[in-house]
């Protein structure tokens, strides 16, 4: 069980994943997340080998600002899922600070009961670099987990703007956790994200906080009516919950079931999945193109020369770029 750095043939991982070997699944995800060329090549083959067995889960995106209680909520909600027979994979995207590369969230002991439940698999993806890159890898990780038989996938992100948009591009349902009374400044920023939400849950509706939470619920429910109609025909729901007292948790599940019924019957569910496939195709085209370009030995040399030029005055980086691309294509 040591030697996790050893690399096997793609078939080894494919077989292991299809048998739901969690240790092999984890190692495959590590390959998918790796930026090394040799790892990426194997990862591509693994994805190709399992893709026919993927796609059969419900994919739930969860976001909220730090302190909203995401882990506590996922612990309660996840336990509800696994005790009702679901196999749950939780993927957490942990955006790093762009400068120090340190984790915002820091060390954490989170989801204590869920993490030891045999029906659940929790995979944090600490990540630096571009959020686009993170999202691509998370999307492939979803496919791997589905092939391993997980029928419910939660993708958790911290609310930082760009990452929720990516998460919305790879999940079926987008759940936004909100605090009661977190101030108007916050809401200003969050409008674009609120518009993406299929459901808003006001967390920590317990103790002295119950009235405040109920008030916030009414406020958000009103706000939602002002949003443009959704393509799915779904009207976003606003609820309160207390993860600690386990109240309002089953209701979240009921809302999701209702959404599934509606969007499967009106065919929006598949339509959204297909649009997402297309989106991932185009992202992948962009990645492949750039890789092909930058790994070309001639281009590498010319870029070295251009880098020197750019340190001078009166150079036009836009022109140099378009000339270089034109030359390459010939």
Stretch that binds a second copy, among 9-17, 21-29, 44-52, 235-243 (CB under 8 A): 44-52
Residue 216 near a second copy by CB under 8 A: no
Closest CA to 50 of 23, 28, 34, 26: 28
Interface residue with a second copy, options 48, 254, 257, 258 (CB under 8 A)? 48
Closest CA to 291 of 55, 41, 77: 41
Stretch that binds a second copy, among 73-81, 238-246, 251-259, 308-316 (CB under 8 A): 308-316
Stretch that binds a second copy, among 207-215, 234-242, 256-264, 279-287 (CB under 8 A): 279-287
| Structure token digits, residue 271 | 């339509």
Residue 11 near a second copy by CB under 8 A: no
Spell out a b/e string for 270-293, using b for 16 or more CB atoms within 10 Å of the CB, else e: eebeeebeeebeebeeeeeeeeee
- Contact of 149 with 32, CB cutoff 8 Å: no
Query: Measured from the CB atom, is 260 or 273 closer to a second copy?
Result: 273
| Binding to a second copy, residues 112-171 (CB under 8 A) | 131, 140, 158-162, 165
Query: Measured from the CB atom, is 115 or 276 closer to a second copy?
Result: 276
Site string (53-92) toward a second copy, x via CB under 8 A: --x---------xxxx------------------------
Which residues of the chain form beta strands (DSSP E)?
Answer: 58-64, 88-95, 120-127, 152-158, 173-178, 199-202, 237-240
Residue 266 near a second copy by CB under 8 A: no
Residue 308 near a second copy by CB under 8 A: no
Distance CA 29, CA 145 (A): 9
Provide the 10 A C-beta neighbour count for residue 41: 12
Closest CA to 110 of 120, 100, 101: 120
Query: Measured from the CB atom, is 30 or 187 closer to a second copy?
Result: 187
Residue 36 near a second copy by CB under 8 A: no
Stretch that binds a second copy, among 13-21, 82-90, 236-244, 278-286 (CB under 8 A): 278-286
């Amino acid at each position: 069980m040591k030697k996790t750095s050893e690399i096997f043939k793609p078939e080894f991982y494919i077989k292991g994943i299809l048998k739901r070997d969690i240790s092999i699944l984890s190692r495959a995800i590590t390959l998918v997340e790796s930026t090394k060329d040799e790892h990426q090549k194997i990862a591509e083959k693994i994805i190709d080998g399992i893709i026919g067995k993927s796609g059969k889960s419900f994919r739930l995106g969860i976001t909220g600002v730090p302190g909203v209680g995401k882990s506590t909520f996922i612990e309660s909600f996840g336990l509800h899922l696994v005790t009702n027979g679901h196999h749950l994979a939780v993927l957490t995207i942990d955006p790093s600070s762009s400068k120090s590369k340190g984790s915002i969230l820091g060390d954490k002991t989170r989801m204590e009961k869920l993490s030891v439940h045999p029906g659940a698999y929790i995979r944090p993806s600490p990540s630096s670099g571009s959020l686009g890159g993170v999202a691509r890898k998370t999307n492939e990780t979803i496919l791997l987990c589905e092939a391993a038989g997980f029928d419910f996938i939660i993708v958790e992100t911290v609310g930082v703007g760009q990452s929720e948009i990516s998460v919305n591009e790879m999940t079926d349902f987008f759940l936004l956790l909100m605090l009661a009374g977190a101030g108007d400044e916050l809401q200003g920023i969050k409008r674009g994200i609120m518009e993406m939400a299929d459901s808003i849950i006001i967390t920590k509706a317990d103790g002295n906080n119950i009235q405040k939470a109920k008030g916030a619920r009414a406020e958000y429910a009103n706000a939602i009516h002002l949003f443009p109609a959704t393509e799915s025909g779904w009207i976003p729901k606003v609820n309160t919950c207390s993860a600690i007292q386990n109240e309002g948790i089953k209701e979240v599940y009921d809302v999701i079931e209702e959404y599934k019924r509606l969007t499967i019957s009106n065919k929006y569910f598949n339509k959204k999945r297909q649009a997402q496939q297309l989106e991932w195709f185009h992202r992948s085209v962009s990645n492949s193109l750039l890789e092909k370009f930058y790994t070309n030995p001639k281009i590498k040399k010319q870029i070295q020369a251009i880098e020197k030029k750019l340190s001078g005055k009166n150079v036009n980086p836009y022109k140099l770029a378009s000339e270089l691309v034109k030359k390459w294509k010939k």
